[in-house]
Chains A and B, each alone.
Chain A
């Protein structure tokens, strides 16, 4: 008769040495990974806490809507805030449609031949070009060659060129995630490529396309070199709280550039001003990103397959 049958039922499932060890290892690794994950967040929290701590004396609604005073040593950041808004909105108004249409062409229409493979390769490599190089290109192409001068237009175009390849790449990825059988089903019933794209492909990749675009907002807002080389200035006289202070062919102030100037170029600045500027930049970017996440969640919940 086998041994096990004589055992008390409760004993049959007692943990062996082996099981105990396995469980111990498992709990240790779990703690280890949790610690790593948390330690990733700590620097972020520290940065935010540190910024807010130093910015506190200046942080107020006034700081946002007031213009700089006493040679940047006092007052607020309104001209820079509006300038960044201008640059981001105009550059994305150019880059988003061009990027999305280019991606639709590349993913839906282009045949898989050497020419299109080269375009694909070029897009991916352009996405990795450092922003200072884009800045130089913008200076040469838009400020001098196209004779737009140092202006919002030149700066926005430079930012558009910088964000374009990333938008193309992310849009392509979103389009490619729509399963092929959906397209084939449409073609089989005599729908053209364009009808297929409109009815099935874009509606099902719109969340990915939009998040890809919105994430470029933070990049366009944060980059300093491209706008410094092409259209952002040290100081520009603007009315307090004025909504449309700039013309396209004028130069403007920008948050990233302003932060750089008050932190390094102007002597005897009130200590809290650079920090408060950084907080405004960071919060605007985080706000936009949060909006992107919310949009994504909303669209995902309305996803149809």
Chain B
């Protein structure tokens, strides 16, 4: 695979909540059109890392970030339009959050808040995103019922549709399959493989096998440190560079 262009560059990223540092200096790049897997036990800072990328960490008053993050070559701390940055990065949270709006409005929310008002445009965005999130068939007849009335798994796919609605260049999925059944998970994984032709995907997952199936490269994050970052074959092989990695992916972590 050709790894020429960098979608994201992270240089010596540190993050602390109050006095507690939870990310201790990460430096790595994410290339365009790759699926970048991040695995690691609970509390290792995966979610926090994602929140640094789209700067929603700014809403956390106790958090202080240092280091440099470049998205498409430009430093996100110098960005003029923070909302455009957030639209460039789609974010899917681990727990499904259907906004208390109709299904249609849930998906149309992001395009609308960026100023799009034409009904026809919104209609086509809603349809495309719901199809990509493998939800269209189930909800196409009741687009104007409440998004919060969907089942947990459907709401999670609604979240994915919403994250795609602002046409992100980078899609971050934070343990997206917690609330979804295996069959639908597989369907979404197929969609992700399809999507990577157009965009870059960061996949945080507790299911190491999911990273193995999908990711081109995988990072093993542990307590805010990058233990190992390499191509997925090597991480999941019999002898990755670090023995901790082997223990973690094989479930003998202690």
Contact = CB atoms under 8 A, between A and B. Distances in A.
Interface stretch (A156-164, A197-205, A276-284): A197-205
A112 B17 CA distance: 14
B99 interface: yes
A189 B100 contact: no
Nearest to B50: A188
A182 B148 CA distance: 11
B56 A184 contact: yes
Contacts of A191: 83, 109-110, 113
Contacts of B226: none
B43 interface: no
A280 B87 CA distance: 58
A281 B85 CA distance: 57
Given A188-B54, A189-B162, A305 B93 contact: no
Given A112-B61, A184-B56, A200-B100, A189 B93 contact: no
Contacts of B199: none
Contact of B113 (A184, A192, A203, A305): A192
Contacts, number: 75
A26 interface: no
Contacts of A200: 99-101
B207 interface: no
A136 interface: no
B109 A199 contact: yes
Interface in A211-251: none
Contacts of A190: 83-87, 110, 113-114, 166
Contact of B93 (A113, A184, A199, A303): A184
B38 interface: no
Given A189-B113, A190-B86, A199 B56 contact: no
A184 B93 CA distance: 9
Nearest to B55: A187
A303 B149 CA distance: 11
Interface string A164-191: 0000000000000000011011111111
A111 B61 CA distance: 7
A304 B148 contact: yes
Tell me what chain A mostly uses at the interface: helix, strand, loop, or mixed.
Answer: loop
A114 B220 CA distance: 39
B83 A204 contact: no
A185 B95 CA distance: 11
B159 interface: yes
Which residue, A189, A191, A204, has most C-beta atoms of chain B within 10 A? A189
Contact of A185 (B85, B146, B159, B166): B159
A195 interface: yes
A189 B109 contact: yes
Contacts of B253: none
B94 to A, nearest CB: 10
A199 B110 contact: no
Interface in A109-141: 111-113
B161 to A, nearest CB: 11
B91 interface: yes
B165 interface: yes
A303 to B, nearest CB: 8
A112 B56 CA distance: 16
Interface string B74-100: 000000000111110011010101111
Contacts of B59: 184, 187
Given A112-B61, A199-B109, A188 B163 contact: yes
Nearest to A112: B61
A190 B167 CA distance: 12
A191 B54 CA distance: 12
B148 A188 contact: no
A182 B109 CA distance: 12
Which residue, B93, B95, B99, has most C-beta atoms of chain A within 10 A? B99
Contacts of B99: 182, 185-186, 199-200
Given A185-B93, A188-B93, A188-B163, 10 more contacts: A112-B61, A182-B99, A184-B93, A188-B56, A190-B87, A191-B109, A199-B101, A200-B101, A304-B100, A304-B146
13 contacts: A181-B93, A184-B93, A185-B97, A188-B54, A188-B56, A190-B83, A190-B84, A191-B83, A191-B113, A192-B83, A199-B101, A203-B100, A204-B100
